[in-house]
């Protein structure tokens, strides 16, 4: 049970007990009841203030994380674009290189049919 709930429960219990007595509440009972109600209200206000401060801090840190994340995404997208371009260029170079190798081997075999080649590719 939270402190606020306990204070509220104690206040209600105090009022219930004093109302059940045969004599009407005296000045001290009224003062205690008022003090309990004021304390409960103060506890609620303090909790709300603490929640507000925590919320403000979360907003501040969250906004910072959003900005940092956006920058990371932008960098990642740029790197991805560059990476894809490198892969595309590499694929073209591999295809061109294999074509040159095949043509070179074919011309060599046609020109020198008695020489055996070791094929690395």
What string of DSSP letters covers 78-95? HHHHHHHHHHHHHHHHHH
pLDDT band at residue 9 under the 50/70/90 scheme: low
The span from the first CA to the last CA of the chain, in angstroms, equals: 76
> Is 94 part of a structural domain of the chain?
yes
CA distances to 54, 95, 120 from 106, rounded to whole Å, are 76, 17, 14
> Is 102 part of a structural domain of the chain?
yes
> Is 119 part of a structural domain of the chain?
no
> Is 117 part of a structural domain of the chain?
no
> Is 105 part of a structural domain of the chain?
yes
> Is 80 part of a structural domain of the chain?
yes
Overall number of domains in the chain: 1
* pTM reported for the whole predicted model: 0.53
Residue 4 has pLDDT above 70, yes or no: no
Specify the pLDDT at position 23.
85
Specify the pLDDT at position 3.
63
d(CA 64, CA 45): 29
d(CA 60, CA 63): 5
Helix axes 3-20, 27-111, angle to 10 degrees: 160
> What is the average pLDDT across 17-36?
80
> Is 74 part of a structural domain of the chain?
yes
> Is 118 part of a structural domain of the chain?
no
Rg (CA), the chain: 41
Q: Which domain holds residue 58?
A: 3-16+25-111
Looking at per-residue pLDDT, the higher value among 8 and 103 belongs to 103
């Amino acid at each position: 049970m939270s402190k606020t709930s306990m204070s509220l429960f104690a206040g209600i219990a105090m009022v219930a007990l004093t109302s059940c007595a045969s004599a009407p509440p005296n000045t001290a009972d009224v003062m205690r009841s008022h003090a309990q109600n004021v304390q409960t209200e103060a506890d609620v206000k303090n909790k709300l203030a603490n929640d507000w401060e925590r919320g403000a801090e979360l907003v501040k840190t969250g906004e910072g994380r959003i900005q940092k994340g956006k920058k990371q995404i932008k960098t990642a997208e740029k790197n991805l674009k560059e990476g894809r371009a490198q892969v595309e260029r590499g694929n073209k170079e591999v295809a061109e290189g294999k074509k040159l190798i095949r043509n070179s081997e074919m011309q060599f075999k046609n020109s020198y049919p008695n020489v055996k080649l070791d094929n690395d590719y």
